[in-house]
Each structure stands twice: as structure tokens, then as C-alpha cells.
Chain A
Amino acid sequence: MSEMVLDLSEDAQEYGRQALRAFEAAGGDQLVQDAEAKPAIRESLVGPVLNELGAWELDARTDVDGLEAAAALCRSAGYWALPYPVAERLAKPTDLESDGLIVVASNRPAGAVGGVETRWTAVTSGGTRSTVVGHGATGPAFVTPLELSEIDKNGAGDVALALALPCWTLLGMLDRAIELTIAHVSLRKQFGQPLSTFQGVQFQLTDAEVERSGLEILAKYALWSIGSDKPEAIVDALALRMSAIEAAEVVFRVCHQLHGAVGFCDETTLSWLSRYSQPLRRLPLGLSATRDELTRRAGRSGLTGLYA
């Protein structure tokens, strides 16, 4: 049993920082706006920068360094609401000719992959794998219904990583949302003083930061559990997902509230981040369904946890 690691390696962290700068140089916040206007150009818009970063050479499934780098990359992609299914691509299965893996619900499968034409595989939380043979129209936030053709039922081991990496993307979005909100309340003055000086404002932000920190540590724990091939990795990934949805709820609610009306306008980055966080928070399973799945799997034994 490998010793528990609750932080990314220095290399992975440095890779994440490089990715942040590279996405900024490639267009930063403008990328998602351009992609929303034309979902079909997503590949040409961000494909080159992801290639330069060597994203598709990362082996997240069999190499722990690759896994940590993949998590760091997803987090940086989330920070810029990068309009590309980076987590899904990085979660691709190793034993199939496939470029990416999407976890889907068993009824009405869907994914935020509209406009990215590549060899997609889908997997249910129970492990049924399918080839994505077609999809419907691309809807808001690139969500599209998927047409599937079943391959096998051997995907149970694929699920945990494919659930965990999108949570890292969401974590990057929460990092950014809090950063934007701190900047906003520090700059905006009402009643003759910056909003940040009101304790009522500070406490809301601190509640959001506590949620974000909790998510961050669970994301690292689940990653370690997956990298160590723990049998309970799927349960840890579901627990991470539940925490991610709950944290996103609190963080976005607070960040919107403290931005005021301007936070709903597409002139602010928060409006875009929050809109593009929706598929991550609701697909394949929303909060209640995730909790239900977790309860069934953890059963009476509970989570293994840090001190097993």
C-alpha cells in the first residue's frame, strides 16, 4: 500500500501553472465566448494549445505522475472555463480504441461534448460501456444527447477516474469564481467603503472558501485512492462528486450574490463560468442521484477514509 499523498507533486503543480498561462495566452476568457458562438470550432480553438501542452500524451490511467498532471490540467481548464472536454478526453479507457470517456446516466445519456467529433466511449456507473455512435443537436453549454451502441460490461474500473477528473475541472471554476469575487468586493464601493469591509460580506466569502477547501482536499484524496488502485476508489470518487456539487452550489451562490446584478451579465466572467459549470454539476448525476448511488455503494460499511 502506497503512503497516502494529499498533495500534487511539484511537477504536476508546475504543469498546472504552465497550462494556466498557456490558456490565457491562447485567448483566456474569450475562448468560451467564441466557442459558444460556434461550438463546431472548439477543436480548432483549443486543440493547438492542448497539443502544445502535451495533454494527450498524459497517461492518467497507469502512471501516477500522469494522473496528477491530468488533474492539474483539468483544474487549470476549469479556471478559464476552457470550452473543451479535457477531463473526458484524459479519462479515456486503455483497452478500447477510444479518445475519451463520458460517464452517463442509464436513461437519456448526455454529455457536454457537442461540437467535438472524436471517438467517444460512454460508461454507466455500473460499468456498461458503449460506443457513442451519434448525438443530437448541441444545446446550451455544449450539452448534447448521445446515441449509444453497447460494447461490454467491463467498464466498472473506468468509472472512478472519469467521475473524478471533471470534479477537478469544477474545482478550477470555484478557484476562479472566488478570485473574481474577492477582486469585485475589494473594488466596489457602496456606502462609502469597499464591500469587502462589511463583515456580512466577508463571512459569506469565508463560507464559500471553506467549501472550496473541503472540495480541494477530497479531490486530492480521491485522486490518491484512484492512483493506488484502491477497491473503494469508485466510492471515493462518488463522495468527491457529491462534495463538488455541494461546494459549487455554495460558492456560486455566494459569488453571484456578492457580484450583484452585474454577475448575471455576460459582460462578467462569472456569468460564463457559472453557466458552464451547470453540466459539470448536473451530468451524469445531480446531487440527490449521486447521494443515492453513494449510499447504495457505501452501504453499511461506510467510507474507508483517511485513517483506515
Chain B
Amino acid sequence: MGVEADSTAHLDQFRADVRSWCQEHIPPDWRATQTGVDDDEFVRFQKWWFAELHAAGFAVPHWPREWGGGMSVGEQIVLYSELAAHDAPRLVLAFVGIHHAASTLLVAGTDEQRARHLPAILDGEIWVQGFSEPEAGSDLASLRTSARRDGDGYVVNGQKLWASGGKHADWCLLLARTDSEAPKRKGISYFLLDMTTPGVEVRPIRNAIGDSHFCEIFLNDVRIPAANLVGAENEGWQVAQATLGAERGMTMLELAERLGNAGFRRLVQMCPTDDPVVAERLTQFEIEITGLRGLCRKLVEDAEDGTAGLADASIVKLYYSEVLQRMTDFGAEIGGLPVHTELVKSASSGWESGSWMLDFIGSWEWTIPGGSSEIQRTIIAERGLGLPREPSAV
């Protein structure tokens, strides 16, 4: 897309179009009606909202045009800031499918794999990531789930952990070891796993806020056809590296916009703003959120131009996680009794639900998955500042 697609006049018109669409399509009461709903209703609502976005061309703006996307970065920034400004529901269930699965298929998939899955994702196919294991978290490359070649397929055995949304998933992005003799990063392969395959068992894990979004996936003699291998055998690590961070910029921008809109608005509405201590804290948050939104915008624009620094995405993730933790903590502090007694939040919201205790405890998870804060700091030190590796690290 050239200058024309991102000209001010074009973007202004696009913004006006998105605004009127939002006013017509976002149910004004979704937070209330989605509070305390059961799993079936959550899934139904998520799929309905995804279909609404898809019908408008807003579900997968970052995909290539031939697969249903094709928006410029400028248009995507407008889209996500308007959706956040109008307090749209968040795509929770579709997230892995439209981001990680799609970027994997687009970068490393076969034509058949793309044709099979990309349209299906647009029709509501749900994906889960099967990467982490009990002994392989930050050190993902030490994973042990094995895939043994057997005729025209593979037989997989092992256990995956922290598979968010695993109980609703139709398909899984699976990393498994196909060569146990090779150095750890060279013996891993990348598979597409149909979650209905015999031998796949999903167990939800109850977490500190009482929900079971995290899941364990047990794999016992699970057969995967060779056609579902992505990239070459034993080159799964490279595939994962190429696709994992692919969407971080725009997804972070979306989250930052949500925090800056509904999240901050809810905080201000709840606070006694005539109290000078409270007013000072709110001002500080406003400054930090403005910084965060600016960082996200710069990251997506620089990534588009090919000028993003190697540590920029890590800086954004650290910054967001820490602002989020402090802000939700302050919400829990100010919120008083209901914070303790009303532990229910709206499904389909993010970490800006306004149920501050749940948002606060949920915010802690941000500094752990997708590269813990320790890993992000290591990346910033080594790739951003050019500092040497820790002597003891192997």
C-alpha cells in the first residue's frame, strides 16, 4: 500500500467508516450481558463477534489481501484504536488462529495447508498453541514431546502445558521432538494437530482467579498425518522463531488501546478524583499509557519499514506488563469492598474488565508467558544494548 492508501484524507474517511460501523454493530451492553456467562455462551458470543468483524472485513486486517485481509498498517492502527474507543469485545478465542496459526501457515505452510485452514479460521476454527511443557518453559527448546515417524505419519507422545483456551480448540500448533540425538534446537518439528484425534486429552487447570483458561494437553500415541508437518522435519524451531513474534506489534497496539480507553476510563470513573493523592496517581498512569501507546505505534510503523530494533518488541511487552500490573493494583486498592466480594468479570473482555481484583491477579500472568520478563530483559540487554551473555548461561 503506498502513500495514497495512508493519505490523511483516506485515513480520515476510513476512520469515519469504522466509527459508524462500531456504533451500529457493537452491542452497548455486552460487558453486562457477558458477565458470569457459562462456557457455551462465551464461545457462542465470541464466534458471533468474530463473524460480525469478518463480514465487515475487520477480522483479519493483517492477512494478505488474497486471503481476506490487505489493510495497510495505517488503516490497522485506525481500526484498532476505533474498536478500543468504542469498547468492542476482544477476540479471545480466535487469537491464536488469526495470529500464530495464520502467520505460521503463510510463512511456512504448503498451499494445501493454507487452503485447508485459512478459510476455516475465517469460518470460526479455533486454535491453541501446544508449545510449553512441564520441563520446557523459558527454555522451550528443551521440550520432550516426541513424534516418531511411522509409515505415512507420526506417532506423538507427551504432555503440553499452559495451552490457553485448549478446551475449545479444534486444532493445535504442536512442537514435538523428531530427533532425540540432534542438538536440542535441531531435532524439533512443527505440526498441525486435529484436536479430535484419538489419544488427545485436554485437562483444564484451575488458576488463582478460579477460571480454567489454561489447559494441559496429554498426547498418548496420537497419529498425525505427514501432510500436517509444517516446514521440513527437524526444522520446527526455525519455523516457530519466524512466526512467534510476527504479530506482536499490532496485538500489543490493540491491547494498549484497550487499556488506554476502557481500562483507564473505568479507573477514572471509579476514583474519587477530588482527592489529590488519587489525582496524582491517575496523572502518572495517563503519562505511562500515553508512552505505551506511542511505543506500540512506533513499533508497528518501524516493523513495516524494516527499521525496528531487535529489542523493541521486548521493550513494549515489558512496559505494558508493568503498567498493567500497577494500574490494576491501584484499581483493586481504590475499589473497596466490591473488589473482594464481586469476583466475576465479563467474558470477552481483556485485562481492562473493571473487575479489578481479577484484572490484577490476571495481570501477573503477563510477565510470564510469551517470553517471561527475565527473557525480555535478556533480549534487551544482549540484542538491544549489545551487552555480553551471562557467563553461566549455556
Contacts and interface: CB of A to CB of B under 8 A. Distances in A.
Closest 8 pairs (CB-CB, A-B)? A139-B341, A190-B139, A286-B333, A143-B340, A108-B337, A271-B208, A264-B208, A264-B207
B67 interface: no
B392 interface: yes
Interface in B205-236: 205-210, 214
Interface in A225-256: 249, 253, 256
Contact of B205 (A108, A267, A289): A267
Contacts of A141: 340
B365 interface: yes
Interface stretch (B74-82, B244-252, B372-380): B372-380
B306 interface: no
Nearest to B277: A288
Nearest to A272: B208
Contact of B206 (A192, A265, A286): A265
A261 B162 contact: yes
Given A191-B394, A266-B206, A287 B368 contact: no
A260 B277 CA distance: 33
A232 B56 CA distance: 66
Residue among A249, A278, A279, A292 with most chain B CB within 10 A: A278
B72 interface: no
A30 interface: no
Interface of A: 105, 107-108, 110, 136-137, 139-141, 143-145, 189-193, 197-201, 249, 253, 256-257, 260-261, 264-267, 271, 274-275, 278-279, 282-283, 286-289, 291-292
B365 A261 contact: yes
Interface residues of B, number: 47
Interface of B: 132, 135-139, 142, 161-162, 205-210, 214, 277-278, 281, 325, 329, 332-334, 336-337, 339-343, 357, 361, 364-365, 367-369, 372-374, 377-378, 390, 392-394
Contacts of B378: 200
A261 B137 contact: yes
Contact of B340 (A107, A266, A282, A287): A282
B10 to A, nearest CB: 43
B376 to A, nearest CB: 11
Nearest to B362: A264
A200 B343 contact: no
A244 B332 CA distance: 17
B205 A265 contact: yes
Residue among A190, A193, A278 with most chain B CB within 10 A: A190
Contacts of A144: 341
